Amino acid sequence: MSIKPFRKILYFIPIMIVMAGCGVKTSTTKQFSIQETFSNPNPAEINLIMGGGNLQVSASDENGISGSIENNTENWQPNIVEDNQQISITQAGISKFSTIPSEKFVNNWELKLNGNPLDLFIEGRAYKGMIDLTNINLKSFRFLDSVSETEVILNKPNPVKMETFEIGSAGSNLTLSGLSNANFEQLNFRGAGGRYTLNFSGILQQDAGVTIISGLGYTRVEIPKDLSATITVNGLVRGLIVEGPWETDQNVYKNSGSGYQLFVDVNMDMGTLELILQ
């Protein structure tokens, strides 16, 4: 199974799409048991593409993916493909969703996964998600969502270096917590028309750079007071809210913490930006 190149999707912002649930009929709820393992320890890749429901992701003790998927709509049943060291679970037709479907549509994904290490790609649309990356050995994490309500959390340091860390979102309410635990060198974030919180609590394991591109939305950046950080703000900022004892020099905001340093470049296009030192 082929996955679309991330960078092409990252720059796509939906303009007009078909209303969610239009012409879709429900039936008896079916449950699918998921139990897929990797034949070799590494490299390992998991791809998840879903929409119009609920997604819960957390760590497993074994390499591979396990859990369950239940839904009551024929067109939303998952397609599971295991190809060498890649496991893909996809749902067709997610581009038709413009809002989270009503409760009459059942589409619940509860998945546990791991790899040693793991390349993880998640694409979601019009869903509610809790993605707990704690205790998942991530070599790369690529994440795309739109018109969704999602939280991504990392409560412990990632034991391996995150070689690729990319987030793209449009029209969503997205919270990213514990980002310093990701063990990344570079994080690329692009958001448009939504409400985004980037929380950098955790433990940096190296100097790290962050590029934030955001427009026509609300972006909140939270920095712990003990973290050494420099934030540079460029572009057209419709509203700027600054809280905490920042050292300010025109468009540059610094915090003299300790340990490794975080460098954040923010590029706004008519969006609201909030910089919080907490």
Residues 27-71 have pLDDT tens digits of 888 899 999 988 776 779 999 999 999 999 999 998 899 999 999
* Residues 262, 239: Cα–Cα separation, whole Å: 23
User: Which sequence spans correspond to the domains of the chain?
Assistant: 28-145, 154-278
* Residues 212, 275: Cα–Cα separation, whole Å: 13
pTM, two decimals, is 0.90
Residues 176-215 have pLDDT tens digits of 999 999 999 999 999 999 999 999 999 999 999 999 999 8
- The helix (run of H) or strand (run of E) holding residue 261 is strand 258-277
The string over 14-53, giving b where at least 16 C-beta atoms fall within 10 Å of a residue's C-beta and e elsewhere, is eeeeeebbeeeeeeeeeeeebebebeeeeebbbbbbbbbb
* Residues 232, 249: Cα–Cα separation, whole Å: 10
DSSP three-state, residue 164: strand
* Residues 166, 144: Cα–Cα separation, whole Å: 8
